[in-house]
Structure 1
Amino acid sequence: MTGTVREITPDVDAGAVLAGAQFIDAFRVDIGTAAVNAREACTRMVLNGPRWVEALTRLRNVLVTPFGLKTSGEGAPAPGGLIGLFPVLSETPERLIAGFDDSHLDFRIVVDVAGDAASRQVTLTTLVKTNNFLGRTYLTLITPFHKLVARGMMGRIEEPVR
């Protein structure tokens, strides 16, 4: 069955992706025969995300600016460029890792594509390491929204980029 996003037990080497991560979750969607690599899947999630996700991101950027936190597109250039506001840190056709380190927290997203031509799955794993009280507070406040956003974004993988 394609298109159903479900939360799963994370299956990444957290120590290798983001040592010391205190938060990790993962969601998977079956995409059937859709031929996408990890960059395409990530691009479709980020650029095809529901409009309410874009509105939440804009609100987040306004709210965190007074605290000196990074907003969309800030920071050092990424080796793999940007996908939306996510700097791409490493990638293969099967796995893309994006994210950045900030004063309050460090985060990574891992997009994995697995399966064969008849049945593919995309998994989105999020890892967060908080660096201070502000990071812990931010993570506590954003976690319920994160789960909604991750599900909403993953539901868009099968759609072509708008």
Structure 2
Amino acid sequence: MISSAQKLVRPTLYPSPLPHAALPLADWADCYRVCVAAHPDLSAMAFARLALGRFPPWARLLLRLRDALVRPFGVQTTDDLVAKGAESIGFFPVVSATERQVVVGLDDTHLDFRLVIDVVDQGPAGTTVSVTTLVHRKILLGRLYIAVITPFHRLIVRAALSAAARRLAAAAA
């Protein structure tokens, strides 16, 4: 069953994800956005923490399965990311942050990826948040990896945006 918040999460090509300064060599991208009630003081970091800081149990289970499957290939696991000790949101290392944009991601042997969270105040019309995923697939393993995980990625991004929108709505009520 799709919640009303999930219905608000839309795939979008605006802003056009490629090329993107956060990962100029990206050769794969997608972008989802959600419009929430006006939150003129909402920072990108606050929204990123709402969206990426706590995944639903089914998504955590998928991530544990992913970690078990990729470990033999030398691909970094979520535990590897957390252990690095850099500033992070959930298990995602923060690459850069401003008031209106947060970039998280990492470089690995098979691919480099970035998640770019942009928050735009639209005045009384609300606040628009977009999450752009950028990937530079370096080798065949990177291409195969993205092909396999794309359907799960889409589910998780939509669920994370929906959950963050619900949390914002609940906090405003």
- So what's the TM-score if we normalise by structure 2? 0.83
Give how far 1:31 is off: 1.2
Give how far 1:17 is off: 1.2
Identity of aligned residues (%): 36
1:154 partnered with 2:158: no
Aligned length: 157
What's 2:28 paired with?
23
Q: 1:31 to 1:48 in 2, by over 3 A?
A: farther
String of CA shifts for 1:66-115, please: whole Å, max 9, x gaps.
Answer: 1111011525554xx01111100101110000100000000000000002
Matches within 5 A, 1:32-71: 32-34=37-39, 35-71=41-77
What's 1:133 paired with?
140
**What is the rounded CA distance, in whole Å, between the counterparts of 2:27 and 2:18 in structure 1?**
13
**Greater percentage in strand:** 1
Please point out which of 3, 6, 9 is paired with 1:5: 9
8 Å CA contact 1:90–1:96 kept in 2: the answer is yes
8 Å CA contact 1:96–1:110 kept in 2: the answer is yes
Give how far 1:50 is off: 2.0
**What is the rounded CA distance, in whole Å, between the counterparts of 2:25 and 2:47 in structure 1?**
27
Q: 1:82 to 1:32 in 2, by over 3 A?
A: same
What's 1:121 paired with?
128
8 Å CA contact 1:10–1:125 kept in 2: the answer is no
Root mean square deviation of aligned Cα: 1.8
What's 2:171 paired with?
none
Partner letter of residue 63 of structure 1? Answer: L
String of CA shifts for 1:112-135, please: whole Å, max 9, x gaps.
Answer: 000245310110000001111111
**What is the rounded CA distance, in whole Å, between the counterparts of 1:54 and 1:102 in structure 2?**
21
8 Å CA contact 2:38–2:121 kept in 1: the answer is no
